[in-house]
Each structure stands twice: as structure tokens, then as C-alpha cells.
Structure 1
Amino acid sequence: MHDDQVKRQVLIVDDNEINLTLFEALVSKLGEIEAKCFASATEGLAWAQQFQPDLIIVDYMMPELDGVQFIERLRATPGKDSVPILMITANDQKPVRYRALNAGASDFLIKPIDKVEFLARSSNLLALSEIRRKLDDRAAWLADEVRQATAKIVERERETVIRLAKAAEYRDPETGAHILRMAHYSRLIAKGLGLSEAEQDLLLQAAPLHDIGKVGISDAILLKPGRLTPAEFEFMKQHAAYGAEILKDSNSSILQAGAAIALGHHEKFDGSGYPAGLGGEAIPIFCRIVAVADVFDALTSARPYKAAWSLDDAVAHIRAQSGSHFDPACVKVFFDLWPEVLEIRERFRDDDWSSLLAPL
């Protein structure tokens, strides 16, 4: 916004040097004014297109561009649709004034110039320019406030995701590092499949919620060191539905995606998975992606009930299950981006939760 010490800029364009001198002297009576005078219409137009004057005073009869052409070209310049323009015409040029109005002129003065009228009209247009600037500043301020408020909401959503994922971690022998790695593997696969940046980021944030339903599984089953019995495994499978139930009906896009992933990440491409026995592309793409990322990291991570598989054995298993357990497209992309997979595996060796959303 202007303060009282900032000079307002008035552009004066007239091929008559006497008129330039007269108008400059008159506008100086309007307060703190910096007059920019051009006898060349093209030079004046170039200056007006580069800078943001508070008022433009332009003559109609000029050799390079007439006043209407000046206005048309200026109004066609982005960001120059609101600067007030006062055009000077002769008394018998009413059709010209009509054309100028259509081109975007704000007001007129008729020759010979009446000094009192000139000062009054110029003052009114400068006041209008000041109001518009203040409105623009207010709009920019409001937009900035909205951006800040939105950023705070997003940050709270991120914190919610991290805390929910931690809740599942505390009930499960899996580690925070596993959550970090599988989330970033998921984003990498999404990138390789050509999903948008927004979809990649949404998957990165939602993937950690895939096993949130394990908070509803008893310790006797969840922490059992040996193989589960068929009955125990049937109960264990309920964590998919539990996770969806916990996260469903949220207004948050992250939690909505998390609900879908929690429900579907144990579905298999050949239809033999759970809970719904979906197959192929009937399985949501986020679930097909997370299935590869989650299983690969689970295989290559040590657990109380198993040793970590070697990379070669894990790779062989994922490839062997392509088309049965896993979507072949997801498997292909995963191994096409193998150097980046290894970089993620190396980067997230510790439970560094603060780095979960670092790429966003």
C-alpha cells in the first residue's frame, strides 16, 4: 500500500512539448507527484507496459499512435486493465470518445483545457487508482493468509498420519524404518507408472497407514513368534477391514486414500487375496503399488520370528509372484528403478519419522 511519503506516478503522453510542460505543472499541484513525460507515443507506451503508473494522461492526436491505439495496446498488456487513463480530445471528436470508451479510457478532457476541471478529474482518477491499489493489496494479503492457513491444515494432516502410523508400529514388530521405506518405494513406483505429482505425494503420505488396523488385533496373534494357525490367520486378516473402518468417512484426502490402501493392500492380482478377493485392475492402483513395496521391504527386514531375506532372494520372489500376487506393471517399474530402490533402502535405515514427508 502507499504511505503518505510515496510519490504517485503520472504518465503524460503528448507530442506537443508545450502541453507536456503545462500538464506536468498542473499535476504537480496534486501533491507528491512524479511526472513521466513522453513526446513519443511508442516510448510512452513502452514505459507504461513496464511500470505501473497511478494515472495516464494521453492526447488523441499523435503521429505514431493515436490515443485510442495507445489505450488499446496498453489494455491488451497483462496487468494493465485497471490503471486510470485520462484522454485529451477536441470538442468535436465525440465519435473518438466513444471509441476510446470501448478501448478502456476512464475519462476525458476537451480542449481547450480548463485548469480547474483538469485538476478535479485528475484528482478523482488518482483517488480511484489509490482505492484499486489498496484493494489489490488487500486481496494479496488475504491470498497469503489463505496459503498460510492451508499450510497449517496440511501440516496437521501430516502429523495425524505420522501419529496414526506410530500407533500401529507400537503394536507391531515392524519398525518405523519399514514404514518410511515402503512409503517411499510406493511413491517411486507411482512415479514410474506415470501418476501425477499430486498422486505420488498423496500415496507417500497415505501409504504409512496401510497396517493401522493392526491396533485391533490381539497381542497373542500380532506378536506370536511362530506361524499362525489357520484360525489365527483368519482373525489376523481382519486388520484390513479394521483399518478401513478407522479411516473411512474422513474429509481428509490423505485419510481417504489411507482407508482404501488399508482395505486393499492384501488383495492379489490373481484374485486370491483378501478381504474381497479382487483381481487385476479391479484392485485400486494405490493398493497394487503398496503390495509390492510392502512385501519387498517385509521380506528384506528382520523380524523376531524370521531373519531378513537377501536382496537376491527377495527379488526372485517378487519376480516369481508377478502376475499372481503382484501387478506385473508395478513389478516392472520397481525393478526398472532399482538404483533408486537401493538408495531409499540405504537412506531409511533408522526410524527417522521426521524425514517421512521431506520430499513434499
Structure 2
Amino acid sequence: MTRHQAASRSKARVLVVDDDAEVRTVLVRAMQTLGHAVSEAADGTTALAVAQGHDLILMDVQMPGMSGFDVVARIRKTESGASLPILMITGQAGHAERLRALRAGANDFIGKPFDFAELRLRCGWLLTLKQAHDAIARHNAELEQAVRERTVDLERALDGERRGAAALQEAHLDTIRRLVTATEFRDSDTAAHIRRIGALAEQLALADGWRPGEARDLYHAAQMHDVGKVGVPDAILLKRGPLDLDERRAMEQHTIIGHRILRDSPSSLLQLGAVIALAHHERWDGTGYPQRLTGPSIPRPARITAIVDFFDALTSDRPYRSARPVAETVDVMRDERGRHFDPDLLDHFLVFVERSMPWAPAGVDHPDSETPPDAAGGPG
């Protein structure tokens, strides 16, 4: 026995239950000799009333009214008594008696007359068992408390991160809105076009199998595809009529300008916008600009934006021409399958157009809009 165990046992609270006063006195003195605090009960009913709060019970088997077996069984049904060590004491120490005691829930059994040394050893190991159980219970309680506290801390930290992320996201979206607004100030004819591009790009991305969150990012990023037009001279940007070769070369610089504006941002949305700004005029067959990329080497977000940009540009009025009908535009785009456009993405888009937009889209609202086309005199 260690000093710690000895000190713990000296503080044990023991309940002696026996209807024989002489036996009870002997057991009380024996436990007190071992340094324990002892309570006593002369019957089962009293024992049940005072059992809680003890570390060990010495229980007689044969008692009037309620036997020791019955008392033990009822103690075991209580929350506090489930782990309480119980040593049964009786003058009938046969095999059947021992089995019945164990079935009732007793931890150990000793016969009368009992040997003091044996009683001390059996009580000692039962108290050690109780001590170990209590230590485990305390440790589990401490762990549960630590987990609760840590969970609260983590929830607070995550809540703070969520709020910070939401604020950062809103700041990025605000930046996007301001960039798009800057473009709109330069060319008011493209304001509605910019918003439609975002809506159509999101729908095509969903049709292409993108996750909703990714498609929503594309909705925002695609609207920045022409942000580089802020660097194009007004004489070219606002010219009513076809551009000559030099003017077209100057206009084509808007892809590079837009990329430079957006590329160094820490925002993933603005970085996505930079990719789109640079490559949305590339063509599947390599005849686009500014890098003459071909096929799959063109970033997929830019390929999506190229399709919806072309569609909306042809079906919208421009200073130098009138809008084309949707059916005519679809025919033109089919002819460009595998030349201007990614064949698979174009197929997805044309299915979407045929199912969702049987009208001439002077504008296409974002899908969140609840205004039906007929009610608004056409989309947008």
C-alpha cells in the first residue's frame, strides 16, 4: 500500500448494516481501528435512506423485513449506488449464497465468524477500487469540462472568423461593384450588359457541373471582364461605328489593362476576375487575343465568359448596330462551335438558351429575380 492509498483509506466513510447489535458493534470498532468514519444501520430501510455519501458498505444478508440481497439490488438501481463497493457478511457462506450475493450486485463476500485480517484486506481492496473509480470519474468530469470550455472557445473563434470572412467578402464584393461602376461611367451602354454577363456565366457554370458556390463566384468575377476598358480612350470606346485597325488594336488592350488592374489582389474573386479579363477574347482555334491561346489552355472561366459575352453582345443594341434575334445569334454561335467556342460549353449554353430564353434578351436578369419576362416587357 502506498502512502497516498493509506491516506485515502483513512478518510473513508463506511456504513455497517446488521440487525445484530453485537455484530454491528464489532464491525464498527474494526472499521474505526482502521481509521475510517463509520455509520450504522439496523435494517434495510434505514440503510437505503443513508447509503448515499459512503465509500463502502458492510451488509448483513439475513435481516428482518428486507434482506441484504434486496437492499443491495435497490442500491444498485440508484445513480450514486451504481459504483458503491458492497461487502456482504453472513453466517451462511455456501456456494449458492455467494452466487446470489454477486447476482444482487455485491462486490465481495465474507462469512461469519470473520477473520479481522481478512476483513481488513477485503475492505482495503474495495476501497482501492472505489478510489480508482472516483479518480476516473473526476478525470472524466474534468475532460468533459475542458471539452466544453474548448468547444466554447472554438465556437467563439470560428464565429469571429466567420464574421471576419463575411466582412472581407463584402469588402471584395464592394471593390468589384466599384470597379464595375467605374466601367459603367465610361460606357453606359455596357452597364446592363455587365450585369447580364454575370448572371449568364453563373447559369452556364452550373450547367457545366460547377458547385453553386463556385458558380456564384463566377457571377461576380465575370462582371469584371471588361474592367480594362477604363484605360481605353473615349474616342475609341464611345465611337459610333466600326473601329479601324489601329482603333481595334487599342481596344484589344483592355484585356491586358484589366488583368493588370486585378492580378495582384489578395482576393480570390479579383484574381478570378483577372484571369477572365485577360482571356475572355481568346478563341478555341487560337485566333483570339491577346495571347492566342488554344483549346483547353484557355482558362475555363474565360471560355464560359467568352460564350455569354458573345451571345449578349449580339442580342443587345450597340451604337453601331441593332440587336440580332436570338434564333439568328444561336445559328451564328453554332457555326463557331470548335472555332471560336469550347464545343462542350457551347452545347450546354445553347440548351440553356433554348429552354430558358425563348425571347429576345435585351437584358437577362440574374436568376434570383422574381420578375417574369412578360411582366417587364422582356428580360432585364
Smaller-chain TM-score range? 0.5 to 0.7
Kindly report which structure 2 residues correspond to 1:158-169, keeping only aligned pairs within 5 A, or say none.
158-169=173-184
- Among 281, 287, 300, the alignment partner of 1:272 is 287
- Aligned in 2, Cα 1:345/1:186: closer, same or farther, shift over 3 Å? farther
Aligned-residue CA RMSD in angstroms?
4.2
- Aligned in 2, Cα 1:113/1:334: closer, same or farther, shift over 3 Å? same
- Aligned in 2, Cα 1:221/1:56: closer, same or farther, shift over 3 Å? farther
Paired with 1:209 and 1:174, the residues of 2 have a C-alpha distance of 15
- Aligned in 2, Cα 1:299/1:89: closer, same or farther, shift over 3 Å? farther
CA contact (8 A) 2:316 2:322 kept: yes
- Among 297, 310, 317, the alignment partner of 2:312 is 297
CA contact (8 A) 1:172 1:223 kept: yes
User: Is 2:245 the counterpart of 1:230?
Assistant: yes
Report the CA distance between 1:177 and its aligned residue.
2.4
- Among 352, 357, 366, the alignment partner of 1:342 is 357
Gaps of 5+ in 2: 1-43, 55-72, 86-104, 109-123, 370-380
Q: Deviations over 1:302-351 (max 9, x none)?
A: 1222211111121111111112111111110001222564299879557x
Report the CA distance between 1:25 and its aligned residue.
3.3
**Residue identity in the other structure for 1:303:** R
- What residue is the counterpart of 1:26 in the other structure? 53
Deviates more, 1:183-192 or 1:252-261: 183-192
**Residue identity in the other structure for 2:261:** I
Paired with 2:301 and 2:129, the residues of 1 have a C-alpha distance of 73
Report the CA distance between 1:118 and its aligned residue.
8.4
**Residue identity in the other structure for 2:266:** N
User: Is 2:181 the counterpart of 1:150?
Assistant: no
State the aligned residue count.
273
- What residue is the counterpart of 1:188 in the other structure? 203
- What residue is the counterpart of 2:147 in the other structure? 132
Paired with 2:150 and 2:298, the residues of 1 have a C-alpha distance of 50
User: Is 2:262 the counterpart of 1:247?
Assistant: yes
- What residue is the counterpart of 1:209 in the other structure? 224
- Aligned in 2, Cα 1:300/1:127: closer, same or farther, shift over 3 Å? same
Paired with 1:285 and 1:138, the residues of 2 have a C-alpha distance of 41
Gaps of 5+ in 1: 1-16, 28-37, 45-54, 62-87, 92-108, 356-360
Kindly report which structure 2 residues correspond to 1:50-129, keeping only aligned pairs within 5 A, or say none.
59=83, 111-112=126-127, 126=141, 129=144
- What residue is the counterpart of 1:306 in the other structure? 321
CA contact (8 A) 1:89 1:111 kept: no
**For the pair shown, which has the larger CA radius of gyration, 1 or 2?**
2
User: Is 2:338 the counterpart of 1:323?
Assistant: yes
Q: TM-score, normalised by structure 1?
A: 0.64
User: Is 2:314 the counterpart of 1:287?
Assistant: no
Paired with 1:267 and 1:284, the residues of 2 have a C-alpha distance of 10
Q: Deviations over 1:167-226 (max 9, x none)?
A: 112112433322221112112222222233343222112100100000000000000001
**Residue identity in the other structure for 1:307:** S
CA contact (8 A) 1:26 1:119 kept: no
Paired with 2:106 and 2:276, the residues of 1 have a C-alpha distance of 70
Q: Deviations over 1:228-264 (max 9, x none)?
A: 1111111111001000111112211111111111111
Greater relative contact order structure (CA < 8 Å, 6+ sep):
1
Q: Deviations over 1:42-93 (max 9, x none)?
A: x99xxxxxxxxxx9996499xxxxxxxxxxxxxxxxxxxxxxxxxx9969xx
Paired with 1:346 and 1:177, the residues of 2 have a C-alpha distance of 11
Q: SS state of the match for residue 134, structure 1?
A: helix
